[in-house]
Amino acid sequence: MILVKQLYKNYGSNEVLKNISLEFMKGKVYGIVGENGAGKTTLFRCIAGLEDYKGEITSELKPLKNHLGLLLTEPFFFSKITGEEYIQLLCNARNRKVDSIKEKNIFDLPLNQYASTYSTGMKKKLAITAILLQENDYFILDEPFNGVDIQSNIILAELIHKLKQLNKIVLVSSHIFSTLSETCDEIHLIKKGEEVKTVPKAEFGNLEQEMKAVNIGNKIERLGLK
């Protein structure tokens, strides 16, 4: 279990997260949804311990960060490190011994090439492979589907289902609603740093319709496209 209680985060006078309280249970997948700048990534960084915050974040396994696989929106790679060395580095960091990295290369990445030469999607797949091989219990996947090809997105969705089966806690953010409705048990909607709604799986359809109505409105008509 991961418990977030009355979480506040400020950058100077800018309040990015306001009174967020969330509970994440084992064996469940949670979607975090919100517009750009709503505070999703900041929330993830707070849970990971990469940011200072006000409030409380606790977990069953302690310290939380040592059991967390964190996929950043834009993973950083050194200029001359190969894909295989990147995986080795991240596994070394968690004292995990990987017998055959090549065998576990399910996305067929060119592991002998420098990771910096990979495309956006390949970089994301490499980062995902590395955090999976770390054998974490908690996962934060910040926009895992972005830039990844359709074939790999299918694999990724199956991987998330597998993690759920293995009793892991998975938090996913995505700007593509279908990817969340397919994988998540619950979606938390964040707006301007506040949690405005928690939606169970049965109500995902309503949420999508509601989001369409609120966000599209008459914006398309206003453009006056000819």
Partner 1 sequence: MNAYFLLQYKLANRKLIELGINPLVGYVLGIAGFILISEYLYLKTEFAKYAVILVALTFLAKTSEINRNAFLLMVFGNKKSRVIRIIENLILCLPFSILLIYHTEFWESILLIVVSVLLASFSFNTNFNFTLPTPFYKRPFEFAVGFRNTFYIFPFAYLLTIIAISVNNLNLGIFALLLVFVVTFTFYLKPENEYYVWSFSTSSGRFLLGKLVTAARYSAFLALPPAIALCVFYPSEIATILMFLFLGFTFLWTIILAKYSAYPNEINLPEGILIAVCIYFPPLLLFLMPYFYIKSIRKLNAILK
Name the residues that contact partner 1, by CB under 8 A: 48-50, 63, 65-67, 70, 72, 75-76, 78-82, 84-86, 88-90, 92-95, 112-114, 116-117
Among residues 38, 34, 47, which one has the least CA distance to residue 7?
47
Q: Which of residues 50 and 106 has its CB atom nearest to partner 1 in the complex? A: 50
Q: Which of residues 128 and 187 has its CB atom nearest to partner 1 in the complex? A: 128
Q: Is the peptide bond before 144 cis (omega within 30 degrees of 0)?
A: no
Minimum CB–partner distance for residue 144 and partner 1 (Å): 16
Minimum CB–partner distance for residue 143 and partner 1 (Å): 16
Cα 106 to Cα 67, 152, 182, 221: the distances in Å are 22, 9, 21, 45
Cβ 163 vs Cβ 141: under 8 Å:
no
Q: Which of residues 53 and 204 has its CB atom nearest to partner 1 in the complex? A: 53
Q: What's the rounded Cα separation, in Å, for the pair 152 and 216?
A: 30
Q: Which of residues 18 and 45 has its CB atom nearest to partner 1 in the complex? A: 45
Minimum CB–partner distance for residue 98 and partner 1 (Å): 11
Q: Give the CA angle between residues 65, 43, 161 to the nearest 5°.
A: 70
Q: Which of residues 137 and 195 has its CB atom nearest to partner 1 in the complex? A: 137
Minimum CB–partner distance for residue 105 and partner 1 (Å): 16
The 3-state secondary structure of 74-89, one letter per residue: CCCCCCCCEHHHHHHH
Measured from the Cβ of residue 164, the count of other Cβ atoms closer than 10 Å reads 18
Minimum CB–partner distance for residue 130 and partner 1 (Å): 9
Q: Which of residues 114 and 177 has its CB atom nearest to partner 1 in the complex? A: 114
Minimum CB–partner distance for residue 117 and partner 1 (Å): 5
Q: Is the dihedral of CA 163, 169, 174, 179 positive or negative?
A: positive
Residue type at 176? I
Q: What's the rounded Cα separation, in Å, for the pair 220 and 222?
A: 5
